[in-house]
Amino acid sequence: MNILGCLDVADRGDYGLNDQGRTIVLITHDLAIAQQAKRVVYFRDG
């Protein structure tokens, strides 16, 4: 199931996926977006 493929970029709605026990992986260079997450993992050198 890929509901994210049909979302508008401006759509920042809460779909409750994380509350359902699902893992969400978001890759971004935008720190404002990353700061909205419960947990942030930073990659260095790769």
φ, ψ for residue 41, nearest 5 deg: -115, 125
Q: Tell me: the pLDDT tens digits for 1-35?
A: 555 555 555 555 666 777 788 888 888 888 888 88
Question: Is the pLDDT higher at 43 or at 6?
Answer: 43
Q: What does the alpha-carbon distance between residue 46 and residue 29 come to, in Å, rounded to a whole number?
A: 14
Write down the pLDDT at residue 11. 57
Write down the pLDDT at residue 27. 87
> At 1, which amino acid appears?
M
pLDDT band at 37 (very low <50, low <70, confident <90, very high): confident
Instruction: Name the token pair of 21.
Output: 């026990």
pLDDT band at 43 (very low <50, low <70, confident <90, very high): confident
Q: Using the Cα atoms of residue 21, residue 27, residue 11 and residue 2 in order, give the sign of their dihedral.
A: negative
Q: What does the alpha-carbon distance between residue 33 and residue 46 come to, in Å, rounded to a whole number?
A: 21
